[in-house]
């Protein structure tokens, strides 16, 4: 297989996957961008956490994460409270609405993942994950 066909296959897979996720999110009533969803998931995983910790986790610019978290606070899905350990930062956590939204998003993703894996043997999926991780490591 040529380098072009590997790259093209990865490109097509990535875009098909993103389209399927966006469609599933939309059908569940969520119009959030993937960047907002990834930020919500990071807050859930790290909570309580600072915007800097989220930026580090997602490998994004802190200014971008600060903007995203501000929008999530305005939407009522994330709260900000004073950080008792560092007066210069604030702690982020999900609200009940944020938890409920991520529950719906998780269900959407399980559905898309099931569609993606349809007709694939568990050994094939394990090989795909192993190879994908190797490719990612090769690029780092």
**With bands split at pLDDT 50, 70 and 90, how would you rate the model's confidence at 89?**
confident
Give the whole-angstrom CA distance, residue 51 versus residue 49. Answer: 7
Residues 6 or more apart whose Cβ sits within 8 Å of residue 41: 102
- How much is the mean pLDDT over the chain? 93
Residue 97 in this model has a pLDDT that exceeds 70: yes
Cα separations (Å) of 62 from 10, 89, 136?
29, 12, 23
Residue 1 in this model has a pLDDT that exceeds 80: no
If phi > 0 it is left, if psi is from -120 to 50 it is alpha, else beta; for residue 59 that is left
DSSP designation for 82: E
Segment 34-63 mean pLDDT: 95
Give the whole-angstrom CA distance, residue 126 versus residue 140. Answer: 21
What pTM did the predictor assign?
0.82
* Alpha helices for 87-139 (secondary structure H): 96-117, 122-139
Which pLDDT score is estimated for 65?
95
Share of the chain above pLDDT 70, in %: 97
Domain ranges for the chain: 1-31+96-140, 32-94
Q: Which fold has domain 32-94?
A: Arc Repressor Mutant, subunit A (1.10.10)
Residue 2 in this model has a pLDDT that exceeds 70: no
Which pLDDT score is estimated for 3?
61
Query: How far is C-alpha 64 from the chain's CA centre?
Result: 15
Element (H, E) at 23: helix 3-27
Segment 45-71 mean pLDDT: 95
Task: Give residue-wise pLDDT tens across range 100-124.
Answer: 999 999 999 999 999 999 999 999 9
Residue 69 in this model has a pLDDT that exceeds 70: yes
Q: Could you give the 3-state DSSP secondary structure of residue 129?
A: helix
CA nearest 111: which of 28, 1, 7?
A: 28
């Amino acid at each position: 297989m040529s380098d072009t066909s590997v790259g093209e296959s990865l490109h097509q897979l990535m875009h098909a996957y993103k389209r399927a996720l966006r469609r599933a999110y939309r059908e569940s009533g969520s119009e959030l961008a993937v960047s907002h969803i990834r930020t919500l998931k990071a807050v859930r995983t790290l909570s309580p956490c600072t915007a800097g910790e989220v930026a580090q986790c997602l490998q994004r610019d802190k200014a971008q994460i600060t903007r995203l978290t501000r929008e999530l606070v305005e939407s009522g899905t994330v709260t900000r409270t004073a950080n008792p350990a560092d007066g210069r930062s604030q702690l982020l956590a999900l609200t009940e609405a944020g938890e409920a939204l991520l529950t719906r998003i998780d269900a959407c993703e399980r559905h898309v993942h099931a569609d993606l894996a349809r007709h694939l043997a568990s050994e094939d999926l394990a090989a795909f994950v192993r190879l994908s991780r190797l490719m990612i490591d090769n690029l780092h």
